[in-house]
Chain A
Amino acid sequence: MNSRIIIVNVIRWFLLLFVQIFLLKNMGFYDLSTPFIYVLFLLLLPFGIPNILLYLLAFATGLTLDAFYDTMGVHATACVVLAFVRISFISISLNRDAIDDPEPSLSYMGFQWFSLYTFLCVAAHHLVLFFLETFRLTEVGYTLMRCGLSCIFTLLIIFLVEFIFYRRTPR
């Protein structure tokens, strides 16, 4: 069971990064909206994962993306922020002892919880990402617009993926 989780996550990592780097990197609407689907890997890591491992995975995933995007550290920082939001939101909204679902996916957690969870994590990630990339406050309006539109695009694709791989679970 445990090795199955690891294999599924490794495959997911390679698949999402491949799609992100070789397909979505070349996509975008008028320089305004760029989807970052690879965050789905961090969102779907199992509940039982230790904090330190989660941070390390987030940082490593971000650095890999940075290597291909030529933006040393920007994606890594954004992923670390996402990991922090994920930990905080899960510990606030769920009772740690009563969690019996393996991972926070749409099939296990239901639409309402999952959509709020995804929205908060993606919004935090994109805010940090775009502001670090711009690195100045004079273009704040434009940056916020890019951030918001990209958020919508990313969320759309994440829900698309989640509905495609939706499994009805016995509750």
Chain B
Amino acid sequence: MRNLWIFISRYNAFFLFIIFFVVGIYLTVKNNSYQRSVTLNSSNEVVGTAYERLNVFKRYLNLGMVNDSLAAENAKLKSQLLGLTTVDTAKDVKVVDTVTNQQYTYLAAKVVKNSVTLRNNIMTINKGTVDGIKSGMAVIAPQRGVVGFIRDVSAHLATIQSLLHKDTKISVTLKKNHALGSLVWGDGNFDIKKAFVKEVPNHIKMYVGDTVVTSGYGSFPAGVLVGKISKANVATNDNFLSAELNLFTDFSTLQYVYVVKDKKADEQKALESMAKPNE
């Protein structure tokens, strides 16, 4: 027994290394299966507050670009308004109140922390359970483009698992012929402006410049613009085609995002869970 103690104390560096290494690996693996501890997360209020403070300064740097995009949006809205006010009012117009049946509502949120340089990127926004945000909701960019899904939510903050993450998969479709595919990022290409559409059936013809939109089969509403195909018909080893596309979303300058609230999400989930697999 004494010899054992002498042995352990002589090589203490190695044994301590083993202990700490195992603890580190354990933490990493636990984190990968999404049961992350709440305390050391950027949903954590302390870290979140620090980033919010930092963001006050960072916002000034991108002010010019944000102004431009706001001006562009203003111009668009104004032209729409012009179209509305010049309608011939003498005509009999029937107005149907569709608001009560509206399935999707958007909630604007500010990005307090963004990352694009990692293999798996996570963002933090300044809205949480208080504003009705739940895990799994879709997030889209202000003008056009998709961003990702809500991952963890605290009272006033939430994290987004962005498209730039190995586990994110979004159901998309070609605008012209409604062929389905799934949108993924980072398969040997880690450019934040490019992504891949995979699992497109072999008989579909794709061309460079085709527009890709969301299919509406997930939590995203149908028809959200995703990107334009830049390299079509890349052959894969299986029975499907894949394509490379340029994303409309610019992840590196993202400041505001819209969280999509689906009124029928719970109902749909409950209904679909009734169909048991292997029935």
Chain A residues near B (Cβ < 8 Å) = 22, 25, 28, 31, 34, 51-52, 55, 58-59, 62-63, 66-74, 76-78, 80-81, 83-84, 87-88, 91, 132-136, 139, 142
- Whether A80 pairs with B47 at a CB distance below 8 angstroms is no
Which residues on B sit within 8 Å (CB–CB) of A71? 28, 31, 118
- Whether A34 pairs with B24 at a CB distance below 8 angstroms is no
**B233 on interface, CB distance cutoff 8 Å:** no
Of the candidates B17, B20, B24, the one having the most CB atoms from chain A within 10 angstroms of its own CB is B24
Among residues of B, the one whose C-beta sits closest to the C-beta of A73 is B27
- Whether B188 pairs with A59 at a CB distance below 8 angstroms is no
Among A34, A70, A77, A139, contact of B28 (Cβ-Cβ < 8 Å): A77
Among residues of B, the one whose C-beta sits closest to the C-beta of A56 is B20
Shortest beta-carbon distance from A19 to chain B in Å: 13
**B30 on interface, CB distance cutoff 8 Å:** yes
Query: How many residue pairs, one in A and one in B, have C-beta atoms under 8 Å apart?
Result: 96
Shortest beta-carbon distance from A29 to chain B in Å: 9
- Whether B190 pairs with A31 at a CB distance below 8 angstroms is yes
Q: In the bound complex, how far is the Cα of B28 from the Cα of A73, in angstroms? A: 5
Among residues of A, the one whose C-beta sits closest to the C-beta of B46 is A67
- Whether B119 pairs with A68 at a CB distance below 8 angstroms is no
Q: In the bound complex, how far is the Cα of B116 from the Cα of A59, in angstroms? A: 26
Chain B residues near A (Cβ < 8 Å) = 12-14, 16-17, 20-21, 23-32, 36-37, 40-42, 44, 47, 54, 115-120, 122, 159, 166, 188, 190-192
> Would A67 and B118 be within 8 Å (CB), given that A55-B20, A73-B27, A73-B28 are in contact?
no
Which residues on A sit within 8 Å (CB–CB) of B47? 67-68
Which residues on B sit within 8 Å (CB–CB) of A83? 17, 20
The contact sample of 11 A-B pairs, CB cut-off 8 A, is A52-B12, A59-B20, A62-B24, A69-B115, A69-B118, A72-B27, A72-B37, A76-B27, A80-B20, A83-B17, A84-B21
Q: In the bound complex, how far is the Cα of B28 from the Cα of A77, in angstroms? A: 8
Of the candidates A55, A70, A84, A87, the one having the most CB atoms from chain B within 10 angstroms of its own CB is A70
Which residues on A sit within 8 Å (CB–CB) of B190? 31, 142
Among residues of B, the one whose C-beta sits closest to the C-beta of A62 is B24
* Nearest 10 interchain pairs by C-beta: A73-B27, A77-B24, A73-B28, A72-B31, A84-B17, A80-B20, A28-B117, A87-B13, A67-B40, A76-B24
Among residues of B, the one whose C-beta sits closest to the C-beta of A88 is B13
- Whether A70 pairs with B115 at a CB distance below 8 angstroms is yes
Among B14, B23, B117, B118, contact of A59 (Cβ-Cβ < 8 Å): B23
Shortest beta-carbon distance from B186 to chain A in Å: 8
Which residues on A sit within 8 Å (CB–CB) of B54? 22
Among residues of B, the one whose C-beta sits closest to the C-beta of A50 is B12
Shortest beta-carbon distance from A109 to chain B in Å: 20
Shortest beta-carbon distance from A62 to chain B in Å: 7
- Whether B20 pairs with A63 at a CB distance below 8 angstroms is no
Which residues on B sit within 8 Å (CB–CB) of A55? 16-17, 20
Among residues of B, the one whose C-beta sits closest to the C-beta of A87 is B13
- Whether B24 pairs with A70 at a CB distance below 8 angstroms is no
Among residues of B, the one whose C-beta sits closest to the C-beta of A86 is B13
Q: In the bound complex, how far is the Cα of B37 from the Cα of A133, in angstroms? A: 18
Q: In the bound complex, how far is the Cα of B27 from the Cα of A74, in angstroms? A: 8
- Whether B28 pairs with A31 at a CB distance below 8 angstroms is no
